[in-house]
C-alpha cells in the first residue's frame, strides 16, 4: 500500500541494503540488539505463538523464532525491498505459508491486522517521527508482550544523529533518524496496560520487554 512513509523508507531501505543485510545475517547470524529481542521473547516460554513484526526488515526475528516459539507471523513493513528479501528467505526455509507479508506504514493498516501474542519493533521507532501513534497501535495488537529496541539517550549518539540528519537534509532526502524520549515511550506503554519486565543496554541500542499486566 503506497504511503508517504513507504516512499521515504523505500528509498532508504532499498534493494542494495536489503541484499547486504541478508548476506550479513546468513554469514554472522542476528545482530547483537536483535539477539536481545530473541532472548526476551524466549524468556516468556511460549509455544506456537503468533508474532507481529513491525518493520521486521529481512525477517531475522521470525526466521529465528519460527524454529521454536512462533508458528504464525505478520510482517508489516514500509520497505518493499526488505519484504521481498524476507519472503525469499522464508521460502528457502519452507515457512512462507505461515507468514503474511504486508507492505504498508503500520499506522495506516492497523485496523486490518489481527491481534497477536507478541509484537516486535527492532530499531523501528527511531525511523518514525510519531512514536506515540506507532506505539499506541502496536500495543493495541499485543495480547501478551511487546519487545522493542531503540537508541539510548546518550550524548554521543545525539551527536552522530545530528550529523546524519544534517547530511540527509543537505541531500534533500526526507528520511530522518529520531531519539525518542524513553520515559515517555514507557509512560505510554504503561497507559496501554504494559509493564517493563526486562531492559538490556548495548553501546547504542537498548532493548525493553513489556508484558501485559494481568487484569
Ligand X SMILES: C[S@@+](CC[C@H](N)C(=O)[O-])C[C@H]1O[C@@H](n2cnc3c(N)ncnc32)[C@H](O)[C@@H]1O
Interacting residue with ligand X among 9, 72, 90, 208 (CB under 6 A)? 9
Cα–Cα distances (Å) from 34 to 30, 77, 163, 172, 184, in that order, read 6, 17, 25, 31, 23
Asked if 82 is part of the footprint of ligand X (rule: CB under 6 A), the reply reads: yes
| Closer Cβ to ligand X, 134 or 147, answer by number | 134
| Closer Cβ to ligand X, 115 or 195, answer by number | 115
Please name the residue that has the C-alpha cell 542476528. 30
Q: Near ligand X by CB under 6 A, which window of 43-51, 63-71, 85-93, 117-125?
A: 117-125
Per CB under 6 A, contacts with ligand X among 123-142 are 123-124, 127-128, 134
Per CB under 6 A, contacts with ligand X among 17-46 are 34
Q: Near ligand X by CB under 6 A, which window of 64-72, 86-94, 116-124, 184-192?
A: 116-124
Asked if 76 is part of the footprint of ligand X (rule: CB under 6 A), the reply reads: yes
Which run of H or of E encompasses 178?
none
Burial pattern 22-59, b for ≥16 Cβ within 10 A else e, equals: beebeeeebbebbbbbbebbeebebeebbbbbbbbbbb
**By three-state DSSP, how is residue 72 classified?**
strand
Q: Which pairing describes strands 99-103 and 194-201: parallel, antiparallel, or unpaired? A: unpaired
Binding site for ligand X (CB under 6 A): 5, 9, 13, 34, 54-57, 76-79, 82, 105-107, 122-124, 127-128, 134
Amino acid at each position: 500500500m503506497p504511503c508517504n512513509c513507504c516512499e521515504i523508507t523505500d528509498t532508504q531501505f532499498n534493494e542494495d541494503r536489503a541484499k547486504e543485510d541478508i548476506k550479513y545475517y546468513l554469514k554472522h547470524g542476528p545482530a547483537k540488539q536483535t539477539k536481545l529481542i530473541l532472548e526476551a521473547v524466549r524468556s516468556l516460554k511460549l509455544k506456537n505463538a503468533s508474532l507481529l513484526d513491525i518493520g521486521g526488515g529481512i525477517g531475522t526475528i521470525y526466521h529465528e523464532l519460527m524454529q521454536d516459539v512462533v508458528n504464525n507471523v505478520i510482517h508489516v513493513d514500509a520497505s518493499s525491498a526488505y519484504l521481498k528479501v524476507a519472503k525469499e528467505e522464508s521460502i528457502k526455509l519452507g515457512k512462507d505459508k505461515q507468514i503474511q507479508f504486508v507492505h504498508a506504514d503500520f499506522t495506516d493498516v492497523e485496523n486490518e491486522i489481527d491481534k497477536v501474542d507478541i509484537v516486535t519493533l527492532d530499531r523501528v521507532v527511531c525511523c518514525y517521527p510519531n512514536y506515540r501513534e506507532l506505539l499506541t497501535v502496536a500495543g493495541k495488537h499485543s495480547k501478551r508482550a511487546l519487545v522493542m529496541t531503540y537508541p539510548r539517550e546518550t550524548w554521543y549518539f545525539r551527536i552522530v544523529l545530528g550529523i546524519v540528519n544534517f547530511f540527509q537534509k543537505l541531500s534533500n532526502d526526507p528520511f530522518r533518524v529520531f531519539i525518542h524520549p524513553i520515559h515517555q515511550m514507557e509512560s505510554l506503554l504503561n497507559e496501554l496496560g504494559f509493564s517493563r519486565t526486562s531492559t538490556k543496554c548495548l553501546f547504542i541500542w537498548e532493548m525493553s520487554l513489556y508484558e501485559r499486566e494481568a487484569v
